[in-house]
Amino acid sequence: MQNTIKDLWYGNVTPLENTKLSNNLEKLYNKLSAIESEVKPKIGKKWDDIDDVFSDIISEYQVDAFIQGFSLGAKLIFEIHQNIDE
């Protein structure tokens, strides 16, 4: 347990490193790629701007989801520990 906490602190563990795309995410990614292939030549640099904003939104969402998931896990562990002590 201590090693995992240290690895997380020092950045040796990346929560998303073992994540693979679900079937739904893969379909959505492929759909977005097809739209990009069609639209990017028409709007040029504007697509890159849209893509940058979209990437920022996704990054913030991932951070929030990680925090919420981590907090929920901590609450579960705390409640389990309380039930063991009773």
Tens digits of residue pLDDT in 9-50:
788 877 666 666 678 888 888 999 999 999 999 999 999 999
Asked whether residue 1 is assigned to any structural domain, the reply reads no
Q: Is 22 a domain residue?
A: no
Calculate the CA 74 to chain-centre distance.
19
Q: Do the domain assignments include residue 76?
A: yes
13 domain-assigned? no
Q: Could you tell me if residue 84 is inside a domain?
A: yes
Residue 12 belongs to some domain of the structure: no
The answer, as to whether pTM is greater than 0.75, is no
The mean of the pLDDT values for the chain is 84
Whether 65 shows a pLDDT value over 90: the answer reads no
Contacts 24+ apart (CB under 8 A), 62-70: 62/16, 66/15
pLDDT of residue 37: 93
| Residue range(s) defining the domain that contains residue 73 | 45-86
66 is a domain residue: yes
Number of domains present in the structure of the chain: 1
